[in-house]
Amino acid sequence: MKEKKLIVDYMINKNIDLETIIKDYTPYIEKIINNMDLNNLSNEDKEEIASDVFFIVWKNQTKLITDKLLSSYIAGITRNLVREKLRKINIYIDISEYDNVLYSFDKVDVLNDNIEKINRIEEMLNKMKNIDKEIFKDFYYYSKSIKYIANKLKISEFNVKTRLYRIRKKIKKG
């Protein structure tokens, strides 16, 4: 996948050409999975994640913005599915391990957007209470469950959910 392709490039008669997408993006998805996996997932898990990515793209084809890069959607979906799978098998990874993954992508413009977003989030977090920072980082960076965070901080799960909601709201505003 050397060239950047927009979603519209994969459209045929108002439907997405899934066969071509699978052919073009399977190596890309495998690379993302292998970089995030750290040898914790079986080959079956990796294949399941890859097929789920394509299913999600197909299922949501009417919601995709056609003048955007397909690779950014696929990368986001893949990362979320890997995190979800690792969370289910109770493996937690530090977000700092993703630094080298980010720089391996050929998408400089997508990378710059992500770096700017991460920097804005970090700035917002630095203005928040320590407990809110800890909850946010545990949940989003370290993939900890709400129950785990509540037990760790000795607060209710509802309190954790409420704080996460308010933190997200502050970050979106900021």
Least confident window among 17-21, 84-88, 117-121, 155-159: 117-121
**pTM of the entire predicted model:** 0.50
The three-state secondary structure class of 16 is: strand
pLDDT of 20: 83
148-164: per-residue pLDDT in tens? 999 999 999 999 999 99
Q: Are strands 15-16 and 11-12 parallel, antiparallel or unpaired?
A: antiparallel
- Residue range 81-93: mean pLDDT, rounded: 72
CATH 1.10.1740 residue ranges for the chain? 1-105
CATH code assigned to 107-174: 1.10.10.10
Q: Between 116 and 99, where is the model more confident? A: 116
Least confident window among 12-16, 60-64, 87-91: 87-91
In sequence order, what are the residues at sequence separation of 6 or more whose Cβ sits closer than 8 angstroms to the Cβ of residue 72? 107, 110
pLDDT of 4: 62
Closest by CA to 98, choosing from 164, 37, 30, is: 37
CATH 1.10.10.10 residue ranges for the chain? 107-174
pLDDT of 104: 45
CATH code assigned to 1-105: 1.10.1740
> How many alpha carbons lie under 13 Å from residue 174 in its C-beta half-sphere?
18
16-33: per-residue pLDDT in tens? 777 888 888 899 888 888
Task: Flag whether pLDDT at 142 surpasses 70.
Answer: yes
pLDDT of 115: 65
- Residue range 122-140: mean pLDDT, rounded: 86
Q: Between 7 and 109, where is the model more confident? A: 7
pLDDT of 161: 92
